[in-house]
Amino acid sequence: MKSSSRLSGSSFTHINSSSSCSVSSLVDKLNGLVDEFPLKDSFTFSKHDRKWTREEVSKHSKALAAGLLDLGCKPGDKMVLWLPDYAEKVACQLAAARTGMMVVCVDPSSSSVEEFSTVLGDTNPRIVFIQDRHADNLKEAIPEMEWYATMHDFTGKPFRSRKFSALRYCVQTGSEGIPGMYQFFNMLLYNPDPSPLTAIQDNINDGMPLSLTYKTVGGRLKPGKVVTHKGVLSGDEPSWTIITDVLAKKHVVLSGSGV
């Protein structure tokens, strides 16, 4: 399977791309829920029966957003998520909304070397998030990674790939370190002073692209439509159903153990 297009190409269709609003309604709605009832539970993670309140959802997503900005990510950059519906994916999606980044969601069961190469080639992301069990295939898909990891022990440091020119970071969610990859929990930057989010919030609006989902169709990964902040909030993106359920004041039960 070969990469045939970049995300900026005409093969990707945008929906709900009006930019008439000056801020992201999705982020505003989350902030409003926190202001309303900060200690109300939003999530239960079934592995350890751990719960996240609305305030904790906001806290963790802000911490990841601040960590992303601290690494040099910026509005318009893309993050690829090869993650199941665990706490880390929730935090990533909301952090992207807060930073103006765009999320590319991929079914984590589609994780061959060829599939990594295809999605990275199509979208040219700044950062990739994976489960630790996918690390070997991701390394094989990025020619420079193994060399950097072996020769420079560059865990947590940016690198450059001639094949994927924008890619700087690969993040894994496991508890053990993997050479060449950042650990997810080291990405979280709580209560920075001043907050880097303040400087960019006016640059994020409802018309900005927020999500693209790859689905397996006929045995091949195929990209869907690019959906804006407004479109996600309107329910146009199935990969964000968990987020929209929380914003609709529903209590969501997920697998995993929480951050």
Which residues in the chain land under pLDDT 50?
Answer: 1-11, 13, 15-22
Residue 89's domain spans which residues?
Answer: 23-131+190-205+224-254
CATH number of the structural domain spanning residue 243? 3.40.50.12780
CA distance 133 to 57: 26
Residue 49 confidence (pLDDT): 79
Residue 103 · residue 237 · CB < 8 Å? no
What's the CA gap between 212 and 74, in Å, rounded? 18
Cα–Cα distance for residue pair 27/57, rounded to 1 Å: 12
Strands 50-53 and 41-45: antiparallel
Q: 84 in a domain, yes or no?
A: yes
Nearest by Cα to 114 from 14, 221, 194: 221
74 in a domain, yes or no? yes
**pLDDT at residue 3, as a whole number:** 37
Query: Quick check: is 5 in a domain?
Result: no
* Strand ranges (E), 66-168: 78-82, 102-106, 127-130
Identify the pLDDT of residue 98.
96
In this prediction, residue 152 carries a pLDDT of 62
pLDDT at 123: 96
pLDDT per residue over 28-54, tens digit each? 999 999 999 999 999 998 877 789 999
Q: Is residue 112 in a domain?
A: yes
Tell me whether residue 10 is in a domain: no
pLDDT of residue 178: 87
Per DSSP, 206 falls in state T
| Number of separate domains in the chain | 1
> How many CA within 13 A on the CB side of residue 100?
20
Report the run of H or E that residue 209 belongs to, with start and end: strand 209-217
Quote the pLDDT of residue 8. Answer: 43
Q: Specify if 92 maps to a domain.
A: yes
| Residue 157 lies inside a defined structural domain of this protein | no
Q: What's residue 202's pLDDT? A: 82
Residue 214 lies in a domain: no
What span, in angstroms and rounded, lies between the C-alpha atoms of 162 and 145? 11
